[in-house]
Amino acid sequence: MKNLLSTLWPRVWRLVSAVSVRVKIMGMALGLVLLLGIGILWQVRASLTRTLQRQLENQSVTIASDLAARATDPILLNDLVALQKLLEETQANNPDLRYAFIIDKYGQVLVHTFDGGFPLALLDANRLHPDHRSQTLILQTEDGLIWDTAVPIFDGRAGVMRVGLSDRGMRASIAAVSGQILLMIVLVSAIGVLGVLFLTFVLTRPLRELVEATGRVARGDFSPRLARWAEDEIGDLAEAFNAMTLELARADELRREREELRRQLLEKVIATQEDERRRIARELHDSTSQNLTSLMVGLKNLQTVCQDTDLIQQAEALRQIATQTLEEVHDISVRLRPRLLDDLGLPAALEQLTREWQARHAIPVDLLIHMGEERLPAEIETAIYRIVQESLTNIARHAAARSVSALIERRGDEVIAIVEDDGRGFDPARSSGERQLGLAGMRERAELLGGRLTIESQPGSGTSVHVQIPLR
Greatest CA separation found in the chain?
A: 134
**What is the reported pLDDT for 6?**
64
Domain with CATH 3.30.565.10 in the chain: 344-472
- Rounded CA-CA distance 217/313 in Å is 80
**What is the reported pLDDT for 199?**
67
**What is the reported pLDDT for 227?**
74
- Given the candidates 3.40.50.620, 3.30.565.10, 3.40.50.720, 3.40.630.30, the CATH classification of the domain at 344-472 is 3.30.565.10
Q: pLDDT tens digits, residue range 209-265? A: 777 888 888 877 877 777 777 677 777 778 888 888 888 888 878 887 787 777 667
Average pLDDT over residues 179-188: 78
Domain with CATH 3.30.450.20 in the chain: 22-188
Q: pLDDT tens digits, residue range 2-15? A: 565 566 666 666 66
The answer to whether the beta carbons of residues 349 and 378 sit under 8 Å apart is: no
- Quote the CATH superfamily of domain 22-188: PAS domain (3.30.450.20)
- Rounded CA-CA distance 96/68 in Å is 18
**Cα-Cα-Cα-Cα dihedral sign, residues 397, 400, 404, 406:** negative
Partners of 218 in beta bridges: none
Q: What is the dihedral of CA 180, 186, 188, 189, to 10 degrees?
A: 150
The answer to whether the beta carbons of residues 381 and 375 sit under 8 Å apart is: yes
Could you tell me what percent of the chain has a pLDDT over 90? 7
**What is the reported pLDDT for 324?**
77
CA 430 to chain centre: 8
Residue 281 has pLDDT above 70, yes or no: no
**For residue 162, which phi and psi values (nearest 5 degrees)?**
-125, 130
SS (H, E, C) the chain: CHHHHHHHHHHHHHHHHHCCHHHHHHHHHHHHHHHHHHHHHHHHHHHHHHHHHHHHHHHHHHHHHHHHHHHHHHHHCCCHHHHHHHHHHHHHHCCCEEEEEEECCCCCEEEECCCCCCCHHHHHHCCCCCCCCCEEEEEEECCEEEEEEEEEECCCCCEEEEEEEECHHHHHHHHHHHHHHHHHHHHHCCCCCHHHHHHHHHHHHHHHHHHHHHHHHHCCCCCCCCCCCCCCHHHHHHHHHHHHHHHHHHHHHHHHHHHHHHHHHHHHHHHHHHHHHHHHHHHHHHHHHHHHHHHHHHHHHHHHHCCCHHHHHHHHHHHHHHHHHHHHHHHHHHHHCCHHHHHCCHHHHHHHHHHHHHHHHCCCEEEEEECCCCCCCHHHHHHHHHHHHHHHHHHHHHHCCCCEEEEEEEECCEEEEEEEECCCCCCHHHCCHHHHHHHHHHHHHHHHCCCEEEEEECCCCCEEEEEEEECC
The residue type found at 312 is I
Could you tell me what percent of the chain has a pLDDT over 70? 78
Partners of 99 in beta bridges: 164
- Rounded CA-CA distance 256/75 in Å is 62
Top pLDDT among 95 and 279 is at 95
Range with the poorest average pLDDT among 111-115, 164-168, 297-301, 377-381: 297-301
Burial of residue 169 (number of CB atoms within 10 Å: 0-12, 13-18, 19+):
middle
Q: pLDDT tens digits, residue range 21-46? A: 555 666 666 666 667 777 877 888 88
**What is the reported pLDDT for 423?**
86
CA 186 to chain centre: 49
- Rounded CA-CA distance 393/397 in Å is 6
Q: pLDDT tens digits, residue range 402-417? A: 899 999 898 888 899 9
Q: pLDDT tens digits, residue range 409-457? A: 988 888 999 999 988 888 877 766 556 777 877 888 888 888 888 888 8
Top pLDDT among 68 and 276 is at 68
**What is the reported pLDDT for 440?**
79
